[in-house]
Chains A and B, each alone.
Chain A
Amino acid sequence: MTTATLAPAARTDVRRREASLGDAIRWETRKLRAQLRSKALLIGSLVAPIAVVVVVGAQSRPPKDSLFGRFSTVNGFAMALLVLGFASQWILPLVTAVVAGDIFASEDQHGTWKTVLTRSVSRSRLFWAKVVVAIVFGLLALVLLAAATIGASLLIVGHGPLIGLSGQVIQPSTALPLVAASWATMAPPLVAFTCLALLFSVWSRNAAVGIAAPVVIAMVMQLVGSLGGVEAIRPYLLTTPFEAWHGLLAEPRFTGPILDGAATSAVWAAVSLLAAFLVVRHRDITGG
């Protein structure tokens, strides 16, 4: 072998460090922070509950038909649980889908798949970075919603003893952890809805579909779950875990539905992520 033939090939050994998952997560986070929508959503998660607490707390007639509605205008714990019941039905799937439903589709919208995939990051790494960022964002929104709701309720409405679902009196020192735990049980279904939104984002390549589809699915499941004679399928609905916290406020306390809900959520999340992963891994990037 002569040096003459080796010389031009000298660069063949160039070996680059592949971008780490951390690098990819930092990049996704930066993009998210530059977007008005995500910032507005987090601020909304902090401000909206306060407004709701103020408005509902000022009503002369409490919403008696809702769970914990009867004492919501006089007891902060009841107020925080009333808002929880409302948020779990209508708000949480939407809040998390705003980012998760867009995070893959926006690459299609901007034609930037080819921009990022021609660097040194594999499709799977980019995929998991987006998944992590979307889930963390959803959980962050949940924490802000919970903190703002509980804080505002206790400060504005008060923090006397709470009447539980079985009519028992719960002292404030016990009520606070129970209310916080009730909010925390939202995490598993929230993550599952995030994964569902991610799947729609990947599959439809359209942010509107990615955001709207999980919300519509939540509404349909809500409706199906409220019908009679569906006991067989109710445990598999992704909206059922949103109600698992009721057991925490009963006497005696029961946590079975929370564990079942976590399992249901895990299955929904895993299946959604697997499907999304396969699509991202194998699709041809022809646009952009």
Chain B
Amino acid sequence: MTKTAAVGAAVDVVGVTKMYGPLVAVDDVSVRVAPGEVYGILGPNGAGKTTLLRMLFGLIRPDGGEIRVFGRTWDEAGVHTLDDVAGFIESPKFYPYLTGRQNLEGLALLDGSGLPERIDEVLEVVDLTGRDGDKVGGYSYGMRQRLGVAASLLRSPGLLVLDEPANGLDPAGIRDMRALVKRLAASGLTVLLSSHHMDEVEEICDNVTIMNRGTVAFHGTIDDLRAMAPDPGHVLRTGDDTQAMSIGRTRHPAVGVEHAPEGGLVATGSERDLAAYVADLVRAEVPLLAFTPTRTPLDALFFMLTDARPDDVHLPREKQVVR
């Protein structure tokens, strides 16, 4: 029965460890992705996401533990482990002196199947039709990222592994990439996605693993995660911070009010308590200029689980990931 279960999983990582010298990059991590599922691996820089995915692709060897992909391991099946897998690690890389199409043709050769008739189709999916005759050396970062997705789809994989596919893209690029991943996931593909962004995985993933410094900090469904999420904080800008603060302290003990590092106040508490507090401020004629959430509850939880730097908190989300 256990054997059947192991074969049934698209990805079955059991107790995998990888060291870089004295540094434990991945420490006894287990992850199980069911077929058809969209799975997120979430973690801040250096959490070990890329290292884990590199091991899945056989690019690096684990120091301990076992990785099965559709029931196959590298030791037993060699490159056949990847028979039904495609994806990319970090930013996808191509041969700059070849055109986009030549790159894809070459990769199709290395796929053993040579599916050149699919090239037009995958170029269309990632919106690169018309640019496939240009040398990849002249592609923008976003175009290369999309060519990476095209190269993956060329293998018609059952499992798509994407390592931070939206990383380094501009806001429009991020939006497009997310929409594309969402579309692919909806088409029934099993997707294993790594990300820094809670909101990237929250929308499309069924299950998540949150990693931090090589270890698993959380494992479960997005719904489990939501249930654990703390109350959101709100940035409060008033014409009279001192009075606003004293109203909070004296009349609303359930609401925490503190000075924010960038000026203004931060209020935390349940939605009801916050609403009552704000209503009181208005009644007391404290000029109210702004009342905005600092981050989503899941984000807050993510930062808690991974003890990310607190000064990240008030930055717009796109900026939190600058390397």
Do A and B share a complex?
A: yes
Interface presence of B95 (CB below 8 A): yes
Interface presence of B277 (CB below 8 A): no
Q: Is the CB of A121 within 8 A of B34?
A: no
Q: Is the CB of B111 within 8 A of A115?
A: no
Q: How near does chain B come to A12, taking the closest CB pair, in angstroms?
A: 5
A20 and B79 CA atoms in complex are apart in Å by 12
Q: Is the CB of A27 within 8 A of B110?
A: yes
Interface presence of B60 (CB below 8 A): yes
Interface-located stretch among A86-94, A106-114, A246-254: A106-114
Contact of B112 among A17, A30, A34 (CB under 8 A): A17
Also in contact, A23 and B8, with CB within 8 A (given A118-B86, A120-B82, A120-B83):
no
Q: Is the CB of B92 within 8 A of A26?
A: no
Q: Is the CB of B98 within 8 A of A34?
A: yes
Q: Is the CB of B58 within 8 A of A117?
A: yes
Residues of B within 8 A of A23 (CB): 109-110, 112, 114
Q: Is the CB of B79 within 8 A of A112?
A: no
Interface residue ranges of A230-272 to B (CB < 8 Å): none
Q: Is the CB of B110 within 8 A of A114?
A: no
What is the size category of the interface that chain A forms with chain B?
Answer: 35 or more
Residues of B within 8 A of A16 (CB): 80, 83-84, 111-113
Q: Is the CB of A31 within 8 A of B95?
A: yes
Interface presence of B90 (CB below 8 A): yes
Contact of A115 among B60, B70, B71, B93 (CB under 8 A): B93
A17 and B155 CA atoms in complex are apart in Å by 12
A277 and B169 CA atoms in complex are apart in Å by 38
* Total number of B residues with any Cβ neighbor in A under 8 Å: 45
Q: Is the CB of A11 within 8 A of B112?
A: no
A152 and B13 CA atoms in complex are apart in Å by 65
Contact of B36 among A1, A8, A120 (CB under 8 A): A8
Residues of A within 8 A of B89 (CB): 114, 118, 288
Interface residue ranges of B57-110 to A (CB < 8 Å): 57-61, 70-71, 78-80, 82-90, 92-98, 102, 106-107, 109-110
Q: Is the CB of B95 within 8 A of A114?
A: no
How many cross-chain pairs have Cβ atoms below 8 Å apart between A and B?
131
Q: Is the CB of A11 within 8 A of B57?
A: no
Interface presence of A119 (CB below 8 A): yes
Q: How near does chain A come to B65, taking the closest CB pair, in angstroms?
A: 16
Residues of A within 8 A of B92 (CB): 115
Closest to B90 in A: A288
Interface presence of B7 (CB below 8 A): yes
Contact of B109 among A9, A12, A27, A284 (CB under 8 A): A27
Q: How near does chain B come to A2, taking the closest CB pair, in angstroms?
A: 12
Interface presence of B178 (CB below 8 A): no
Q: Is the CB of A119 within 8 A of B70?
A: no
A280 and B157 CA atoms in complex are apart in Å by 26
Also in contact, A285 and B158, with CB within 8 A (given A18-B112, A121-B112):
no
Q: Is the CB of A26 within 8 A of B109?
A: yes
Q: How near does chain B come to A282, taking the closest CB pair, in angstroms?
A: 8
Q: How near does chain A come to B154, taking the closest CB pair, in angstroms?
A: 9
Q: How near does chain A come to B40, taking the closest CB pair, in angstroms?
A: 19
Interface presence of A58 (CB below 8 A): no
Closest to A121 in B: B110
Residues of A within 8 A of B93 (CB): 110-112, 114-115, 288
A208 and B114 CA atoms in complex are apart in Å by 34
Q: How near does chain B come to A95, taking the closest CB pair, in angstroms?
A: 21
Q: How near does chain A come to B22, taking the closest CB pair, in angstroms?
A: 16
Residues of A with Cβ closer than 8 Å to B?
A: 1, 5, 8-9, 11-12, 14-20, 23-24, 26-27, 30-31, 34-35, 110-122, 282, 284-286, 288
Residues of B with Cβ closer than 8 Å to A?
A: 4, 7-8, 34-36, 54, 57-61, 70-71, 78-80, 82-90, 92-98, 102, 106-107, 109-114, 151, 155, 158
Can you list 18 A-B pairs, Cβ within 8 angstroms, ordered by A?
A: A1-B4, A9-B8, A12-B8, A14-B83, A19-B110, A24-B110, A31-B95, A34-B95, A110-B94, A113-B59, A115-B92, A115-B151, A119-B82, A119-B111, A120-B83, A121-B110, A284-B54, A284-B61
Q: A35-B97, A120-B83 are in contact. List 8 more A-B contacts (CB 8 A).
A: A9-B8, A14-B83, A17-B112, A113-B59, A114-B88, A115-B107, A117-B57, A120-B155
